[in-house]
């Protein structure tokens, strides 16, 4: 375990940004299998952090194939206590325009049950509140960092997570809008809930690529990719501001997992203890 406390999970393009230098990589074993890729130890302006490409190097895991448990566990095992999730999303509301960032504070999980979503199973039962899945103080600081970096952004909003990899139908998109949700994506559930179970401060920076199909205008995948390239430029400016500040002034966070496990200690198996030794630290 190192002194590095910040973990960034993002798309394949983030670690290629000019502002980031990759110092070395870490191959981390977990009880849940391998994470999406070896975890990169990076630095920006001399400040160190971990980076994990959510979909693997070259983007070869679909949202449903990502090993979310291994990803969060590996970062926690290395010593990270704060997770910044950088994610591409579609907009469900007129005021959240492409190329703008949204610091979401709630999630609506609309996935289909294909994803392993908890560390507490196979004979070990635990419960952690998901009422506030995002660490509010971290989210506010990320919003402030976006402002300083000149990235138009919004503080607060709900993220609908769908299974994918297909985008939603127009009828579905209109239903999600009726929920009052702000953006739609495919990856932040169960990622956010697992970070909560692991006692980590978690926040999402949602990069808007397009309006979801509720809006009566056609948008091609190529057009979305072009906006994503523009968003990566904004992400570079944001990271250059955010990481040094988060390293210098760590997030104050009180984990809510200390009393999560309710299974009798005598019934816990060795692999349960292996899991708890990491996530309860």
pLDDT digits (tens, 9 = 90+) for 207-217: 999 999 999 87
pLDDT digits (tens, 9 = 90+) for 232-252: 889 989 999 999 999 999 999
Contact 55, 35 (CB under 8 A): no
Q: Which of 212, 226, 264, 277 is catalytic?
A: 212
Confidence category of residue 182, pLDDT binned at 50, 70, 90: very high
Among the residue ranges 21-25, 191-195, 221-225, 277-281, the one predicted with the least confidence is: 221-225
pLDDT at res. 218: 64
- Is 121 one of the catalytic residues? no
Long-range contacts, 195-198 (Cβ 8 Å, 24+) = 195/72, 195/83, 196/128, 196/129, 196/130, 196/133, 196/256, 196/257, 197/118, 197/119, 197/120, 197/126, 197/128, 197/257, 197/260, 197/279, 198/72, 198/73, 198/76, 198/119, 198/257, 198/278, 198/279
Nearest residue to 253 via CA among 206, 205, 196: 196
Confidence category of residue 225, pLDDT binned at 50, 70, 90: confident
Distance CA 67, CA 62 (A): 10
**pTM exceeds 0.85:** yes
| 72 pLDDT above the threshold of 70 | yes
Query: How many other C-beta atoms are found inside a 10 Å radius of the C-beta of residue 154?
Result: 20
Confidence category of residue 19, pLDDT binned at 50, 70, 90: confident
E strand or H helix that includes residue 108: strand 106-110
Average pLDDT over residues 264-280: 96
Confidence category of residue 149, pLDDT binned at 50, 70, 90: very high
Q: Which of 3, 144, 210, 277 is catalytic?
A: 210
Which tokens belong to 190?
């169960």
Tell me the domains of the chain and their CATH numbers. 6-279 (3.40.50.1580)
More confidently predicted of 218 and 232: 232
Tell me the pLDDT of the chain averaged across its residues: 94
- Is 144 one of the catalytic residues? no
pLDDT at res. 233: 86
Residues near 154 by Cβ (< 8 Å), separated by ≥ 6? 95, 96, 100, 101, 102, 103, 143, 182
User: How many helices and strands, by DSSP H and E, does the chain display?
Assistant: 6, 11
pLDDT at res. 50: 96
């Amino acid at each position: 375990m190192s002194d590095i406390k910040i973990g960034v999970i993002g798309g394949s393009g983030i670690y290629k940004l000019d502002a980031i230098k990759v110092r070395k990589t870490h191959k981390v074993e977990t009880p849940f299998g391998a994470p999406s890729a070896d975890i990169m130890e990076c630095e920006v302006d001399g400040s160190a952090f971990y980076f994990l490409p959510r979909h693997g190097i070259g983007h070869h895991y679909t949202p449903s194939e990502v090993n979310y448990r291994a990803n969060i566990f590996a970062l926690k095992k290395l010593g990270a206590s704060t997770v910044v999730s950088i994610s591409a999303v579609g907009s469900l509301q007129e005021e959240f325009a492409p190329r703008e960032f949204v610091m979401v504070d709630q999630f609506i999980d609309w996935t289909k049950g294909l994803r392993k979503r908890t560390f507490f199973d196979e004979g070990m039962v635990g419960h952690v509140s998901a009422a506030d899945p995002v660490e509010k103080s971290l989210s506010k600081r990320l919003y402030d960092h976006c402002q300083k970096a000149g990235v138009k952004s919004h503080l607060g909003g709900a993220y609908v997570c769908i299974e994918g990899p297909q985008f939603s139908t127009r009828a579905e998109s209109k239903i999600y809008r009726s929920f009052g949700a702000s953006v739609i994506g495919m990856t932040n559930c169960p990622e956010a809930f697992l970070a909560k179970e692991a006692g980590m401060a978690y926040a999402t920076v949602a990069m808007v690529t397009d309006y979801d199909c509720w809006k009566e205008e056609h948008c091609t995948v190529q057009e979305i990719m072009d906006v994503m390239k523009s968003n990566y430029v904004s992400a570079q400016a944001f990271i250059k501001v955010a990481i040094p500040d988060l390293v210098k002034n760590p997030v104050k966070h009180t984990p809510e997992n200390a009393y999560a496990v309710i299974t009798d200690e005598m019934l816990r198996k060795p692999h349960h203890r292996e899991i708890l030794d990491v996530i309860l630290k």
